[in-house]
Amino acid sequence: MSVNTVHSPGSIAPANDGLISITVLGSTGTIGVNTLDVIGRHPQRYRVAALTAHHDVDRLYQQCVEHKPSYAVMNDAQSADELRQRVRGAELEIEVLAGPAGLEQVAGAPDTQCVMAAIVGAAGLLPTIAAARAGKRVLLANKEALVMAGRVFMRQVYESHAQLLPIDSEHNAVFQCLPKSSCTIGVPTGGLAAAGVERIVLTASGGPFRTMPLAALRDATPAQACAHPNWRMGRKISVDSATMMNKGLEVIEACWLFDCRPEQVSVVLHPQSVVHSMVTFVDGSVLAQMGHPDMRTPIAHALAWPTRIASGARPLDLVDVARLEFFALEPGRYPCLRMAYEALRAGGTATAVLNAANEVAVQSFLDERIRFTDIPRVIEHTLEHVASSEADSLEAILAADRTARAAAFEYVASILAPI
C-alpha cells in the first residue's frame, strides 16, 4: 500500500480576516450538519465558504441563511434554480452553482482553506480529489476516495502537499493513538513497525442485527436496518453497519491511511461504541481512544488539529458507562466483511467493484426491491463477474465503477421477488 510520504499537517494559517475558511461538501447529511454545529460554536475561528447538497433545497437554504457562505451547490440544475430564487428573495449574496463542475469548483476554490469531504458514495470522489489537487486540508469523511482510488488519491495528496485528516471515528481514533513524532498524515514514517506498532484494531458495534438469529435476517426490513443502536447516521451507512460492509470499507481505508497490510488490521465487536479503535504495540501496550458515540468529536479534532477545541459532545463518564465488552466476530454472520478483505488482497480495481456493487445492492434493499440477505449475494456475484484491472488512473477506476454497477443492476433484476 505504500506511497511516497506526505508532509505532516500543521496548523492552518487564517485568511486576512483572521478566520479559517471551510467548505462543506455534503452539508445537509449527518456529517455536514455536525460539522456546521461545531463551526457554529467557534465564530471567532471559522467561517463557511461554501455548502453543497444533493437535493435537499429546504435544508441547504436554511443553512445558507444561517451561515451565509459565498457559494452554494446543488446536484442538479432544477434544484439549483429553486435555491437561487430563494437566495435572491432573501437578498443573500450567495452564488448558486450546479452539478459536478460546481462541486469541483468550490472544493478547489482559492478562498477555501479546509474542505470537509462528506458526500456519501462515489459521487464524492471527484470533488474530494479536486480538494486534494488544490492543496487543501482535506477532512476525509467520504470513504470512496480511498476505497475506489486509494493509490491515485494518496499520490495526489502527496504531489499537491495537501493535508489529510480522517473523520471516520475509527480512523480518527487510530490517528490519535499513533505516535505523532514519527508520523506523516498519521502514517508512521517507515511503516507501522518503525513506530513499534504491531496491529490496528477497529471496533464495530455489530449494528442492529448483532444478536438476531441468522434465519431471521432474510426478513429484516430497511427500517430495522437503519435503527442503529448507538449512532445516528444516514440510511446508506446505517445499512452498511448492519451488513458490516462499513467495517470492511474502513479496513481498506486504514491500509491506505496508515500504510499497512490487511493482516495488520483486525476488527472486534464492541457493542457500547465507547472505544472507537485501538493500536497495539510490540511491547504489549494498547492505546485506545474513547468517547461517547458523537461525530462532533472527530470533526472538532480534525478541524483544529494539532490543537483542541470544544465539540459540543458530552464528557465521557466511565462510572456511568460501567462496562466495556468486546467479542470476536461470529463466522458467517458478516460475509460483506470477508469480501472486503478479499477485494483488498486482490488489489487493482477490485475494491472499486466491491464499492459499486455494494451501493447498488444497498439502494435496492432500501427501495425494497431485494431482501437484506441479497445484499452480499449481489456483491459476490459482481466481484465474480467483473474482472479486476490496474487501478493506476482515475479513468480506469471510473470505468470499473460503471461496469460493476451495470453488472450489479443486471443481477438485481434477475433476483427480484416480492418482499
User: Rounded distance, CA 342 to CA 246, Å?
Assistant: 15
Q: How far is CA 73 from the centre of its chain?
A: 20
Judged by DSSP in three states, 275 sits in strand
Specify the range with the lowest mean pLDDT, choosing from 90-99, 108-117, 224-233. 224-233
Closest by alpha carbon to 304, among 41, 31, 106, 66?
A: 41
Q: Quick: pLDDT tens for 356-372.
A: 999 999 999 999 999 99
CB environment 291-315: b (16+ within 10 A), e (fewer): bbbbbbbbbbbbbbbeeeeebebee
Q: Quick: pLDDT tens for 107-136.
A: 999 999 999 999 988 889 999 999 999 999
pLDDT at 169: 93
* Structure letter (DSSP) for residue 208: T
> How far is the first Cα of the chain from the last one, in angstroms, to the nearest whole number?
42
Q: What is the DSSP string of 329-351?
A: PPTTT-HHHHHHHHHHHH-TTHH
Judged by DSSP in three states, 229 sits in coil
User: Rounded distance, CA 359 to CA 240, Å?
Assistant: 9
User: Rounded distance, CA 147 to CA 117, Å?
Assistant: 14
User: Rounded distance, CA 49 to CA 148, Å?
Assistant: 28
pLDDT at 7 exceeding the cut of 70:
no
pLDDT at 198 exceeding the cut of 60:
yes
pLDDT at 190: 63
Query: Which helix (DSSP H) or strand (DSSP E) does residue 71 occupy?
Result: strand 71-74
Average confidence score pLDDT of the chain: 90
pLDDT at 180 exceeding the cut of 80:
no
Q: Quick: pLDDT tens for 139-164.
A: 999 888 899 999 999 999 989 999 99
Domains of the chain: 20-167 (3.40.50.720), 188-292+316-321 (no CATH), 347-415 (1.10.1740.10)
pLDDT at 43: 96
pLDDT at 283: 96
In percent, how much of the chain has pLDDT > 90?
79
Q: Quick one: three-class SS letters along 102-139? A: HHHHHHCCCCCCEEEECCCCHHHHHHHHHHHHCCCEEE
Specify the range with the lowest mean pLDDT, choosing from 14-28, 95-109, 293-307. 14-28
Return phi, psi of residue 49, to 5°: -90, -40
pLDDT at 4: 36
Q: How confident is the model at residue 194 (pLDDT cuts 50, 70, 90)?
A: confident
Q: Quick: pLDDT tens for 247-305.
A: 999 999 999 999 889 999 999 999 999 999 999 999 999 999 999 999 999 999 999 99
pLDDT at 328 exceeding the cut of 90:
yes
pLDDT at 189 exceeding the cut of 90:
no
Torsion from C-alpha of 166, 172, 178, 183, nearest 10 degrees? 20
Instruction: Please state, as a whole number, how many other Cβ atoms lie within 10 Å of the Cβ of residue 211.
Output: 9
pLDDT at 416 exceeding the cut of 80:
no
Q: How confident is the model at residue 230 (pLDDT cuts 50, 70, 90)?
A: low
Residues in the chain: 419
Helix ranges restricted to H, 18-89: 30-40, 57-67, 77-89
pLDDT at 331 exceeding the cut of 90:
no
Which cell goes with 43? 465564530
pLDDT at 69 exceeding the cut of 80:
yes
Q: Quick: pLDDT tens for 29-65.
A: 999 999 999 999 999 999 999 999 999 999 999 999 9
Q: Read off the pLDDT of each residue in 74-103 and give the average, rounded to a whole number.
A: 95
